[in-house]
Amino acid sequence: MEISRLQRRRILLGVTGSIAAYKSAELIRRLRQAGAEVQVVMTPAAARFVTPLTLQALSGRPVRRDLFDVAAEAAMGHIELARWADWILIAPASADFLARLRIGRADDLLATLCLASEAPVILVPAMNRAMWRHPATRDNVAVLEGRGVEIWGPASGAQACGEEGPGRMLEPAEIVGRLQALGKAPLLGGVKVMITAGPTREAVDPVRFLSNRSSGRMGYALAQAAREAGAEVTLVSGPVSLEPPSGVEVIRVESAQQMYRQVMARVGRCDIFIGAAAVADYTPIRPAVAKLKKDQARITLELVRTPDILAAVAAASPRPFTVGFAAETERLHEYARAKLDRKRLDMIAANRVGPGRGFETEDNALWVLWPGGERDLGRASKRELARRLIELISERYGQESRAENSG
Ligand code: PMT
């Protein structure tokens, strides 16, 4: 018998106002049979079509309906719920819900969870055929798909309103089948990944430091993508103002020296290392113990090189599959290839940096090089690029481990 790929997967099932809400009961039953944990969240309109009690009995968990339910929030707050989900599946998804999701409303619990969660969102629409074909709905669907939301269906056929056409919610068996296909073996299941992210701060005196423009977004997106790919992730992070992805161990550091120590203490236990941090190359040789006074017109800071964390990881024995980044303002390929060779890396991801590029931005463009090959990952959001890079790393890592095992 084939093992279900939905075993212990956490599905937040959103049910919105449509006559097809009666099919949600059957959907929950099938998801539970397949081993999934199901948390139902209903909109007020959904509760007019099917009772929360029915869905609660089938899912085995209290149904959540209200953003301001004090007791439910105390048990599992909505942000916690947003982090809990492996997938957000909304079935049925009404025309109204599509429109509200498109404009980013947060005026009920389900819409708020969609905004607050980083889990993939799957919509299974159900509505009258004319509503489905209306230019406003077509437009909403296109925008949502562009943001990476999956839209499954609708099917065509006889509708509850007596009309014939597209708008029927997919059958529960088909939805569960599609989820099973999505839940295929994770790319990095059981693999230990350590990632550095963000800037470092190098103390000049007790109140001043040298740093750079890194926001940590690229490194945090990589941590999330690696986690989603099934890896056990340790994120060694410089000072940033980002929420760490759930399920990731976070080690906070400030200076390059601290980052070096924390990384080297764990390098023997990781399979893949990704250096996405913008580590300061130089640090004040002797930080002042008291705040420097501005009584001189000109001062000189003496700087010394920081330890090269990436090079030290690549030289460790045993060494993990080592991936560096190259942030360059010019001659991107040439400098990146030189860093790959000089630091003896397995792979390097090159990005152009400068005003409004690479650092701090929401999107980025990466060109990836390895000994004997290269691939353009294109321009996209950092989250999307992180997924592409993790996929490529797992491909190359898999090839190298196979070569080592056979050699
Ligand atoms: O944080 P964001 O705002 O999202 O921006 C993302 C980013 C531009 C910071 C990221 O994509 C990136 O390019 N990170 C590496 C930045 C960098 O320091 O590049 P570099 O070319 O100076 O260093 C090359 C590599 O050596 C990097 O992997 C770096 O982590 C590593 N290094 C550098 C110096 C040092 N002392 N130790 C290191 O490990």
261 membership: H or E segment, kind and range:
helix 256-266
Q: Which stretch of 133-147, 186-200, 303-317 has the lowest confidence by average pLDDT?
A: 133-147
Per-residue pLDDT at 405: 64
Question: What confidence tier does 394 reach under pLDDT thresholds 50, 70, 90?
Answer: very high
More confident residue, 310 or 79: 310
Ligand 1 touching residue 308 (CB < 6 A): yes
Regarding whether 147 and 251 lie in a shared domain, the answer is: no
Atom of ligand 1 nearest to the CA of 310: 39
What percent of the chain stands above pLDDT 70?
Answer: 98
Instruction: Please spell the DSSP secondary structure of 211-228, one letter per residue.
Output: -----SHHHHHHHHHHHH
Span 270-293, average pLDDT: 97
Share of the chain above pLDDT 90, in %: 75
Identify the band that residue 97 occupies on the pLDDT scale cut at 50, 70 and 90: very high
Q: Tell me how far the alpha carbon of residue 216 lies from the centroid of ligand 1, in angstroms.
A: 10
Residues 265 and 313 in one domain: yes
Q: 89 or 150: whose pLDDT is higher?
A: 89
Statement to judge: residues 76 and 222 lie in one domain:
no
Last residue of a domain, one of 182, 205, 223: 182
Report the mean per-residue pLDDT for the chain: 93
Which positions are annotated as active-site residues?
161
In a domain, 64, yes or no: yes
Same domain, 343 and 305: yes
Neighbours of 400 (CB within 10 A): 14
User: Is the CB of 232 inside a 6 Å radius of any atom of ligand 1?
Assistant: no
Q: The domain spanning residue 176 has which CATH number? A: 3.40.50.1950
Residue 357 CA, distance from chain mean position: 21
Q: Is ligand 1 within 6 A of the CB of residue 284?
A: no
For position 1, what pLDDT does the model report? 45
Q: Are 32 and 57 in contact (CB under 8 A)?
A: no
Residue 323, helix vs strand vs coil = strand
Binding site membership of 215 for ligand 1 (Cβ less than 6 Å): yes
The answer to whether residues 355 and 377 belong to one domain is: yes
Please indicate, yes or no, if residue 187 is contained in any of the structural domains. no
In this structure, are 12 and 82 located in the same domain? yes
* Residue 250 belongs to a domain: yes
10 Å Cβ neighbour count for 305?
Answer: 10
User: CA 194 to CA 274: how far, in whole Å?
Assistant: 6
Q: Residue 266 has what pLDDT?
A: 98
Interval between CA 165 and ligand 1 midpoint (Å): 54
Same domain assignment for residues 21 and 109: yes
281 Cα nearest atom in ligand 1 = 36
User: pLDDT value at position 396?
Assistant: 95
pLDDT bin (cut points 50, 70, 90) of residue 406 is low
Containing 318, the helix (H) or strand (E) segment is none
| Alpha helices per DSSP H over 279-376 | 309-315, 332-342
Instruction: Kindly state the average pLDDT of the residues 100-123.
Output: 94
Sign of CA dihedral 381, 387, 391, 394: positive
Tokens of 236: 């060694």
Do 200 and 281 belong to one domain?
Answer: yes
Residues 147 and 215 in one domain: no
Q: How far is the CA of 198 from the centre of ligand 1 (A)?
A: 8
397 occurs within a structural domain: yes
Closest ligand 1 atom to 240 CA: 1
CATH number, domain of 286, equals 3.40.50.10300
**What total number of domains does the chain contain?**
2
**pLDDT tier, 407 (very low <50, low <70, confident <90, very high otherwise):** low
Could you say which of 148, 182, 216 is where a domain stops? Answer: 182
Cα 383 to middle of ligand 1, angstroms: 17
* From 134-138, 236-240, 244-248, the region with the lowest mean pLDDT: 244-248
Domain with 297, as residue range(s), is: 192-406
Residues 161 and 210 in one domain: no
Which is the closest atom of ligand 1 to the Cα of 309? Answer: 39
Instruction: Evaluate whether residue 147 is within a structural domain.
Output: yes
Average pLDDT over residues 376-401: 89
Residues 112, 150 within the same domain? yes
Say yes or no: 123 and 250 in one domain: no
- For 27-63, the pLDDT digits (tens) are 999 999 999 999 999 999 999 999 999 999 999 999 9
* Separation between Cα atoms, residue 108 and residue 66, nearest integer Å: 7
Within a domain: residue 135? yes
pLDDT tens column, 157-193: 888 888 888 899 999 999 999 898 787 777 898 899 9
Q: Which of 32-46, 47-61, 305-319, 352-366 has the lowest mean pLDDT?
A: 352-366
Q: What average pLDDT does this structure show over 248-260?
A: 97
Where is the domain boundary, 182, 211, 228? 182
Q: For the ranges 142-151, 191-200, 306-315, 396-405, which has the lowest average pLDDT?
A: 396-405
Euclidean distance between the first and final Cα of the chain, in Å? 35
